[in-house]
Amino acid sequence: MLAYIGKRLVIMLPTLLLIMAVGFFIMQLPAQDYVSQYVARQGQMGNTTAMLQEELLRQQLGLDKPPIERFFYWFFDFLRGDWGTSFVDSRPVTTIILERLPATLAISSLAFLVSWGVGIPLGVYSATHQYKTGDVALTTLAFIGIGLPDFLVAMFFLVAAFLASGQVLLGLNSPEFVNAPWTLARILDFFSYAWLSVTAVAFTGMALIMRVTRNNMLEELGKPYVLTLRAKGLPERVVIWKHVFRNALHPLVTMFGQVLAFLINGFAITSAVLNLPTIQSVYLSATFQQDIFLAGAILILIAVTVMVGNLISDVMLAWLDPRVRYD
């Protein structure tokens, strides 16, 4: 197994290089680049001198060199740890990402915990009480969660919370706590805002997990070995949780790989709509404005998390299911 893991890690490198190359060139495809968009916006606001400086700006930002040359500069700088500067606010990309990392991880992990932690038990319940009222109610809720776009759900929650409490729960803290030290007051303030975002994000995820768990459980429950276990006299609880549930987990495990990527690539539009200071929301704006270093760095992070997530999935699958062997 260790050899397998080692091999996978080694293969990740050329894949990563390929992703970097393809991603970089994809971002060059639109005819506009950051400078032309910038000049256009400035022109609209009355700053006509920006037009005269277009070439100069390009030179400054290094955008006048041919793409291949820029790619190699970027690639080698990246490996050295220099991830470039954001064109938009001239700050180093690493600073921006690190600044947003805590909030991103906080919301994503909380949402993950809620959606999996609540979704799985509810899914098991749904399966074991198939077609009873509880199942019907949960299934309906699940469909609403899956059927609606997550940013629409977020908007709903925002308005509902506003009507109920008069609080505008955009972002993750009240203005006075920006950059304040992490006192108890700040932690409480954080949760008073975060519950909205976490609920909105977890709602869709939970619905999905619930459905998948339910389906897997139902499938397992139909298998003959369940009958055998019951015939043996094992209590239902043991049958369900020790045997059926463990088997039903397998497809979920393959989905686990996506969770890692979800941490920084999920709920992007909801982030933007709720003004969350996450990596996702800055990724959206960076992509649209063609802020290529920032967008490129986040792209790499997403790719790495996807690959590592997949590796974890495969390893966990092998660990859980003795029938699976990697030769």
Residues 100-139 that bind other proteins (CB under 8 A): none
263 interacts with other proteins by CB under 8 A: no
228 interacts with other proteins by CB under 8 A: no
- Measured from the Cβ of residue 58, the count of other Cβ atoms closer than 10 Å reads 17
18 interacts with other proteins by CB under 8 A: yes
Q: What is the DSSP string of 192-206?
A: HHHHHHHHHHHHHHH
Choose the binding region for other proteins from 76-84, 188-196, 208-216, 234-242 (rule: CB under 8 A). Answer: 208-216
Q: How many residues in the shown chain lie near other proteins by CB under 8 A? A: 99
Residue owning tokens 């609403």 = 144
- Residue 191 C-beta: closest distance to other proteins, Å: 18
21 interacts with other proteins by CB under 8 A: no
Indicate the residue among 32 and 109 with the shorter CB distance to other proteins: 32
- Residue 189 C-beta: closest distance to other proteins, Å: 14
CA distances (Å), origin 305, targets 109, 313, 327: 14, 12, 25
- Residue 171 C-beta: closest distance to other proteins, Å: 7
- Residue 133 C-beta: closest distance to other proteins, Å: 14
224 interacts with other proteins by CB under 8 A: yes
d(Cα 309, Cα 258) in Å, to the nearest integer? 6
Residue owning tokens 């064109």 = 87
The closest of 169, 150, 153 to 161, measured between CA atoms, is: 169
194 interacts with other proteins by CB under 8 A: no
Hey, what are 203's tokens?
């709602």
Please pick, from the candidates 52, 113, 187, 238, the single residue that binds other proteins as defined by CB under 8 A: 52
Please pick, from the candidates 101, 105, 118, 284, the single residue that binds other proteins as defined by CB under 8 A: 284
Helix boundaries (H) for the chain: 2-28, 34-44, 49-52, 54-61, 67-80, 93-128, 133-147, 150-165, 184-221, 224-231, 236-238, 245-265, 268-273, 279-289, 292-320
185 interacts with other proteins by CB under 8 A: no
Q: Which residues of 79-95 are buried (b: 16+ CB within 10 A; e: fewer)?
A: eeeebbbbbbeeeebee
Choose the binding region for other proteins from 116-124, 190-198, 230-238, 276-284 (rule: CB under 8 A). Answer: 276-284
Virtual CA dihedral for 20, 23, 28, 30, nearest 10 degrees?
A: 180
Contact predicate 83/174, CB 8 Å: no
- Residue 108 C-beta: closest distance to other proteins, Å: 17
181 interacts with other proteins by CB under 8 A: no
d(Cα 233, Cα 236) in Å, to the nearest integer? 9
- Residue 114 C-beta: closest distance to other proteins, Å: 20
Contact predicate 289/37, CB 8 Å: yes
Q: Which of residues 143-172 bind other proteins (CB under 8 A)?
A: 143-144, 146-149, 151-152, 155-156, 158-159, 162, 166-168, 170-171
Angle in degrees, CA 240, 244, 245, rounded to 5: 80
Please pick, from the candidates 68, 89, 132, 188, the single residue that binds other proteins as defined by CB under 8 A: 89
- Residue 76 C-beta: closest distance to other proteins, Å: 20
229 interacts with other proteins by CB under 8 A: no
Please pick, from the candidates 2, 3, 10, 49, the single residue that binds other proteins as defined by CB under 8 A: 49
Cβ neighbourhood burial of 160 (10 Å; 0-12, 13-18, 19+): exposed
Choose the binding region for other proteins from 68-76, 181-189, 231-239, 250-258 (rule: CB under 8 A). Answer: 250-258
